[in-house]
Amino acid sequence: MKKSRFIIAAAAVALTLTGGILWASDHADAPAVTGKSTDITDLYVFQSQVNANNMVFVGNVQGLLSPTATSTAAFDENTMIEFKIDNNNDNVEDLVIQCVYKGGQMYIYGPVKPANTGFSSTVNSTASVVVPVTTYAGSSTPITATGSTGIQAFAGPRDDPFFFDLDQFHKITAGTATSFLATGHDSFAGTNVMSVVLEVPKSMLNSTGKINVWLQTKKKV
């Protein structure tokens, strides 16, 4: 059993289990973690397009990777990526999904009731899914794994999914523009992230209505 302490939290999302997509994104806004393995860029949660009985969770870290940097990028064995799920709307996690990288593979633990809530976590001792982490290979088919509980998972580099016109944003904040353009320019085009993608049966989330989800990265102590 390994304990970890809280390092950074990304934005949270809330949605019903019957559909829709919600996202939160934050690129390089926290100087203490920018460029580090704990830097969270995106959180996405949505109903599976293939199986309406599943929910998809996407957590991205290490944003703004160039193709050159991506070729050698890796998850950190000392960093846990943890999805926190509140299924009774009290803003306290009832379930966690813990993603721990070791020896070239991503171990997915949960969804499981956390040993403790808040900023400190204890790694669950039973893995639901073990995912071989893909290396950067351009347009290669991603490697996925499916566990005995029905969870499907992917871990590895992906193109940054978030569209943002950073130059126009700077103009707006400087007072030289009043709004974003109709088409805009994707400032993150050509950059990549390290991504964990999970497809989880809704039956494992212990909720028939709305869930709140937030993402944290944690370092070992």
**Tell me: the pLDDT tens digits for 200-218?**
999 999 877 889 999 998 8
In a domain, 49, yes or no: yes
> Residue 87 belongs to what domain range?
3-162+193-220
Q: Are 193 and 61 in contact (CB under 8 A)?
A: yes
| pLDDT at 4 (0 to 100) | 40
In a domain, 177, yes or no: no
The Cα–Cα gap between 112 and 96 comes to 6
The Cα–Cα gap between 35 and 37 comes to 7
Q: Are 194 and 62 in contact (CB under 8 A)?
A: yes
In a domain, 30, yes or no: yes
Contacts of residue 62, defined as CB under 8 A and 6 or more positions apart, other chains included, come to 35, 36, 37, 39, 41, 73, 193, 194
DSSP state of 185: -
Q: Are 172 and 179 in contact (CB under 8 A)?
A: yes
Residue 19 has pLDDT above 60, yes or no: no
Q: What whole-number percentage of the chain has pLDDT above 70?
A: 81
In a domain, 169, yes or no: no
Residue 11 has pLDDT above 80, yes or no: no
Residue 58 has pLDDT above 60, yes or no: yes
- Indicate the range of 67-76, 139-148, 191-200 predicted with least confidence: 139-148
For residue 149, what are the CA distances in angstroms to 14, 63, 136? 24, 31, 28
Instruction: Compute CA 33 distance to the chain's CA centroid, rounded to the nearest angstrom.
Output: 16
Q: Which two tokens stand for residue 1?
A: 């059993």
Residue 196 has pLDDT above 60, yes or no: yes
State the total domains in the chain: 1
In a domain, 178, yes or no: no
| pLDDT at 136 (0 to 100) | 57
Average confidence (pLDDT) over 77-105: 92
Mean pLDDT, rounded, of the chain:
82
Task: Report the predicted TM-score, pTM, of the whole model to 2 decimal places.
Answer: 0.82
| pLDDT at 109 (0 to 100) | 92
In a domain, 213, yes or no: yes
